[in-house]
Amino acid sequence: MHITLAATTLADTWISFDTSSLIRDFWSLTTDGLTYGAIYALIAIGYTLVYGVLRLINFAHSEVFLVGMFAQYFILQALGFTPAADAYNEGVALTVVYLIVAMLIAMIASGATAVIIERVAYRPLRKRGAPPLVFLITAIGASLAIQQAFFVWRGQNPEPQIRLMTPVHVFNIFSAQIDNVQIMIVVSAVILMILADSFVNRTKFGRGIRAVAQDPTTARLMGVNPEKVIMTTFLVGGILAGAAALLYTIKIPQGIVFSGGFLLGIKAFAAAVLGGIGNLRGALLGGLLLGVSENWGQALFGGAWRDVVAFVLLIAVLMFRPSGILGESLGRARA
């Protein structure tokens, strides 16, 4: 059945309510949504860690991700790839090696960016005990500055894509066709998230992070160096955003552009809030939920409404559960 809602008696339909396509493609929409969701979750961890420790929304995190996107692009160019319509498909082993190299470079670039932002913009403010509003405006300034630096340098047209692999159908889940790109993204994202979770929950550094999140004063008295902990959180968040940047560029059809980080950043933040900000497992849950809801919404209302679904979901969740689905838990985790 195909129902059309139109505010006027116009022939043109700008919003549909098409349940048939949602039902028909339900499984493929869901698996694809989970793929996007895994990427959102990786970025969301950066927001969540920093918020857990500093109670600060790191607005510039979307630009940390952007730096990762550009870094992997340039390293692939340096390795001799040129933008082309067709993918290179150099065989599994070589492709994986290239991708791992690009991912490492993106991780280093993003991690460094995050640490530099912390050093240059946030640390002096902390030393001065600035009010939260000042932090937020600084974060916006940092985000704007990095984004616009890329705009001045690379212009407003997206860079042509470098494709290392084409999606090849591997197997089916119910009626959904799973391709190698999706498998790669989900597997790498899950591995990275397990690593991040173990880092926070099972290492000495992680214990320091949780201690500072819970009570910075006492943590300092117990010999935890808060400055070091804060650096670590920015670094870990940045590294994961760099990894997400590589995975995202493989997934999306369009090229890389200076404004490409903004929307992803907002969505990843929405994912973090959805699951409960300050909570690593919440970031995963929120990311997957957001990715799937977006895809379902797109099928229901039409492609143009995808982002509206994300924003409306964000506002709705904040209205009813300001602390998210799983609640804030970084500070109250098991020691």
Partner 1 sequence: MTVSQTSPQKPDKGLLDKLPSVGNPVRRWWEGLGKPVKLTITIAFLIFLVILPLLNPPGISTDSAGLQFSNVLAECARTGLIALGLNVVVGLAGLLDLGYVGFFAVGAYVVALLSSPDSELALRWSWLACVPIAMVVTALSGLLLGLPTLRLRGDYLAIVTLGFGEIVRLLADNIGPLKGQTGFARVAFPVVGTSDSRPFGFFSNANNAKPFTSGLAWYWLIIVLILLMLWAVSNLEHSRVGRAWIALREDEDAAEIMGVSTFKYKLWAFAIGAAIGGLSGALMAGQVQFVNNQKFDVVTSMLFLSAVVLGGQGNKLGVLLGAFLIVYIPSRFTVIAEWKFLIFGVALIVLMLFRPQGLIPARHRLLGADLPKDATIDYEPDEEVDGVPPTNREAL
Residues at the contact surface with partner 1, assessed by CB under 8 A: 6-8, 10, 12-15, 53-57, 120-121, 124-130, 132-134, 136-138, 140-149, 151-152, 212, 216-217, 220, 226-227, 230, 262, 266, 269-270, 273, 304-305, 307-308, 311-312, 314-315, 318-319, 322
Q: How far apart are CA 4 and CA 311, in angstroms?
A: 23
Q: Which is nearer to partner 1, 216 or 255 (CB)?
A: 216
Distance in Å, CB of 302 to partner 1, minimum: 8
- Rounded alpha-carbon distances, angstroms, from residue 100 to 37, 107, 191, 263: 21, 10, 14, 25
Distance in Å, CB of 227 to partner 1, minimum: 8
Q: How far apart are CA 251 and CA 32, in angstroms?
A: 10
Contacts of residue 209, defined as CB under 8 A and 6 or more positions apart, other chains included, come to 49, 52, 53, 200, 229, 232, 233, 330
Q: Which is nearer to partner 1, 83 or 141 (CB)?
A: 141
Query: Checking phi first, is residue 55 left (phi over 0); if not, alpha (psi -120 to 50) or beta?
Result: left
Q: How far apart are CA 264 and CA 283, in angstroms?
A: 14
Distance in Å, CB of 81 to partner 1, minimum: 29
Which amino acid makes up residue 117?
I
Q: Which is nearer to partner 1, 146 or 284 (CB)?
A: 146
Q: Which is nearer to partner 1, 96 or 130 (CB)?
A: 130
- Rounded alpha-carbon distances, angstroms, from residue 264 to 116, 173, 178, 246, 293: 21, 27, 23, 13, 15
Q: Which is nearer to partner 1, 123 or 163 (CB)?
A: 123
Distance in Å, CB of 232 to partner 1, minimum: 13
Distance in Å, CB of 311 to partner 1, minimum: 4
Pair 265, 62: CB distance under 8 Å:
yes
Q: Which is nearer to partner 1, 72 or 261 (CB)?
A: 261
Cα dihedral sign, 72-76-82-87: negative
Q: Which is nearer to partner 1, 165 or 314 (CB)?
A: 314
Q: How far apart are CA 111 and CA 101, in angstroms?
A: 15
- Rounded alpha-carbon distances, angstroms, from residue 300 to 35, 74, 290: 19, 38, 15
Distance in Å, CB of 12 to partner 1, minimum: 5
Distance in Å, CB of 255 to partner 1, minimum: 20
Q: Which is nearer to partner 1, 6 or 84 (CB)?
A: 6
Pair 324, 275: CB distance under 8 Å:
yes
Distance in Å, CB of 301 to partner 1, minimum: 9
3-class DSSP assignment, residue 201: helix
**Placement of tokens 């933040």 in the chain:** 269
Q: Which is nearer to partner 1, 1 or 11 (CB)?
A: 11
Alpha carbon 110 to its chain's center: 12
Distance in Å, CB of 283 to partner 1, minimum: 15
